[in-house]
Amino acid sequence: MPRYTKFYSQAKVGTKMANGKIYVDYKSTDELRRLLTANGKLSSRQRTKLSSMVQRHAATAVKRARYMALLPYEGDNR
């Protein structure tokens, strides 16, 4: 019998540019917040259902947003 697994929908974070490349905008904090856990960590690829390339772009966008003080470094449950 298969184990019970939670089904998560794919997170929509990247936008496709005119030249075909995917860009994850660091200024879209609502989209990036959905990728973070309650502690402020970036969720895994299995949970977000992102490809490896988009996951790397999302990680860079989260780091930029944290540096620009758009996202907190720590979670809300301090």
What is the spatial distance between Cα 25 and Cα 38, in angstroms, rounded to a whole number?
21
DSSP state for residue 18 in the 8-state scheme: T
Q: Which residues pair with 36 in a beta bridge?
A: 42
Residue 2: per-residue pLDDT: 56
What is the spatial distance between Cα 62 and Cα 65, in angstroms, rounded to a whole number?
5
DSSP state for residue 44 in the 8-state scheme: P
pTM: 0.78
Q: Under DSSP, is residue 22 helix (H, G, I), strand (E, B) or coil? A: strand
Residue 17: per-residue pLDDT: 81
What is the spatial distance between Cα 24 and Cα 71, in angstroms, rounded to a whole number?
15
In the chain the domains, ranked by start, together with CATH numbers, are 15-67 (4.10.640.10)
Residues (pLDDT < 50) of the chain are none
